[in-house]
Amino acid sequence: MTTEQTDRAAVGLRSERGPILLSVMLSVGLVAIDATILATAVPAVVEDLGGFTQFPWLFSIYLLAQAISVPIYGKLADLRGRKPIMLLGVGLFVLGSVLCGVAWSMPALIAFRLIQGLGAGAIQPIGMTIIGDIYSVAERARVQGYIASVWGISSFVGPALGGVFADYISWRWIFFVNIPLGLAAAWVLVRRFKENVVRGDKPQIDYWGTILLAVGGSLLLLGLLEGGVMWSWDSVASIVILAVSVVLLAAFVLVERRAPEPVLPLWVLGHRVLNSANSSALLIGVLMVGLSTYVPLYAQGVLGTSALVAGFALAAMTLGWPIAASLAGKVYLRVGFRTTMLLGAVIVVIGSGLLLTVSSDSSVLYLALACFVIGLGLGFAASPGVVAAQSSVDWRSRGVVTGANMFARSVGSAVGVAAFGAVANAVVASRLGGSHGDLEHLSGDVLAPAIHDVYLGAAGAAVLLVVAVVFMPNRVEEKPRD
């Protein structure tokens, strides 16, 4: 890992590469705002379009499309270049936003959210890959602050914009606001981003591997996301979906062994740096779901706060994350990747311990403090993992490893949904004598122990995160850039 010194003028928005950084920030902003803006407007959407029982699919279909397309886009970016794939992602996201804005029914809105998700699947990993291409490790230590600021600002701007549009204008502007952002990002990218894609023979697209990964991965994530929600875990639907996904993913592994240009090369699974980075990303995905799903529920159902206050309690995590991410670069340049990630993992364990001490008599501010501490830890653990993974491979593989890292986090989120849902339902069933899928309307006496056990599971994931980052080398030799 290089220790070269950089100054802000060399990597800032006014530098020669500044317009490209701005384009990536605008593109990532599309995904970051979307992560929070829609949730506040769901009541207005349901009131206008109906489909109350279907609205959870607005989020599930988006996450599903995003997660499964990430590794595919990563490979295409290595074969065709970053620029065309990034433009494709922005174009799909803007197209999906326009269609969502004119949706005439809940099923139509869900279908158009799928298009948005396919666009998001390209934007986030390819944006980070572009950053990895044009900045060295030392420079990325500063650039992380710019990217982290996008998420930090979005965590507050998103819910506020969603509320304003839903209450005073129209929920449809939640989607229309993406149009100028997307067009500006694409325009700057077209004009200022020049890349030299070295191609040998005509690239061979791994069609069978792509199809098997897309279908098998989609079924796996679908089974994990909807198991215990849309259908019970021991139902025929759940068993068939998960069984077929396992068969297809096993076939995917066999195909990848012989493919000239595999969409997800199997050597990724045998690489020390990537194994540590990806296992850490998976556990971070698990922890994020545990917080984002159950902290607001605890704040409202047990502490008796309003939905707005519960949202701000969770926002403490999204505030802590970018603060730590912006500092992580300076830390790993001085003490190394493993030490920085280990610091983050230990902070997550401390935050998880604070979360376990929250009771029905606690203040919502104490709950927010625990979330803030966990957010700090995640910021120190997540960002260095991505940088280390990118630095350990050359240009031809950087898209694949970035996509694999973000895919691991998505799988972790799906696993977290399934595992924590099962834990909560098991506690509720033991107290009420049967499963109760609608946790929001349970009494605080029943809800508190159920969510406490979820927090216990999150603490276990935090401990596993410590184990995962221990295997990360402290120094990673950066591969030469083209």
Per-residue pLDDT tens over the stretch 467-482: 999 999 888 776 655 5
DSSP secondary structure string for all residues of 346-383: HHHHHHHHHHHT--TTS-HHHHHHHHHHHHHHHHHHHH
Closest CA to 35 of 156, 206, 211: 156
According to DSSP, the residues that pair with 227 across neighbouring strands are: 231
Give the alpha-carbon dihedral of 62, 416, 276, 391, to 10 degrees: 20
Residues 6+ apart with CB under 8 A from 465: 280, 283, 284, 287, 345, 348, 349, 381
At 5, is the pLDDT very low, low, confident or very high (cuts 50, 70, 90)? very low
Q: Dihedrals φ, ψ of 170, to 5°?
A: -165, 140
Find the mean pLDDT for residues 300-318. 77
Retrieve residue 176's tokens.
């229309």
Q: Is the pLDDT of residue 49 over 80?
A: yes
Bigger pLDDT: 394 vs 307: 394
Cα 476 to chain centroid distance, Å, stands at: 24
Q: Average pLDDT, stretch 264-280?
A: 85
Residue 24 has a CB neighbour count (10 Å cut-off) of 28
- Rounded Cα distance, 76 and 90, in Å: 15
Contact call for residues 227 and 238 (beta carbons, < 8 A): yes
Nearest partner of 461 among 367, 358, 345, 318, judged by Cα: 345
- Which pLDDT score, from 0 to 100, does residue 338 have? 92
pLDDT at 440 over 60: no
pLDDT tens string 188-224: 888 888 877 665 556 667 788 888 888 888 888 788 7
Measured distance CA(166)–CA(172) in Å, rounded = 8
Determine the pLDDT at residue 200.
53
Instruction: Give the Å distances, CA to CA, from 126 to 242, 271, 400.
Output: 30, 21, 10
| Beta partners for residue 231, in sequence order | 227
pLDDT band at 373 (very low <50, low <70, confident <90, very high): very high
Closest CA to 372 of 315, 326, 325, 331: 315
User: Which pTM was predicted?
Assistant: 0.80
Does residue 398 have a pLDDT over 60? Answer: yes
Asked whether the predicted pLDDT for residue 134 surpasses 80, the reply is yes
pLDDT above 70 coverage of the chain, percent: 89
Q: Is pLDDT of 3 > 60?
A: no
CA-based radius of gyration for the chain: 22
| CB contact at 8 A, 353 and 330 | no
Percent of the chain with pLDDT over 90: 22
Read off the pLDDT of each residue in 210-239 and give the average, rounded to a whole number.
81
Region 120-142: mean pLDDT is: 84
Average pLDDT on 377-397 reads 85
The pLDDT assigned to 441 comes to 61
Q: What is the mean pLDDT of residues 171-184?
A: 90
Higher pLDDT, 7 or 230: 230
Higher pLDDT, 121 or 162: 121
Mean pLDDT computed over 292-305 = 81
Rounded to whole angstroms, the Cα distance separating 154 from 150 reads 6
Predicted local confidence at residue 428, as pLDDT: 76
Half-sphere exposure of 242 (CA within 13 A, CB side): 17
Tokens of residue 467, six digits: 């184990």
**322 Cβ neighbours under 8 A, 6+ residues apart:** 148, 149, 151, 152, 155, 379
Mean pLDDT of the residues in the chain: 82
* pLDDT (0 to 100) of residue 300: 79
Q: How far apart are CA 59 and CA 361, in angstroms?
A: 33
Q: Which residue has the higher pLDDT, 348 or 17?
A: 348
Instruction: Give the separation between CA 93 and CA 90, rounded to whole angstroms.
Output: 5
Residue type at position 383: S
**pLDDT at residue 89 is higher than 90:** yes
Which of 11-15, 45-49, 110-114 shows the highest mean pLDDT? 110-114
CA 382, CA 109: separation in Å to the nearest integer? 32
In the DSSP assignment, the letter for residue 290 is H
pLDDT at position 2: 43
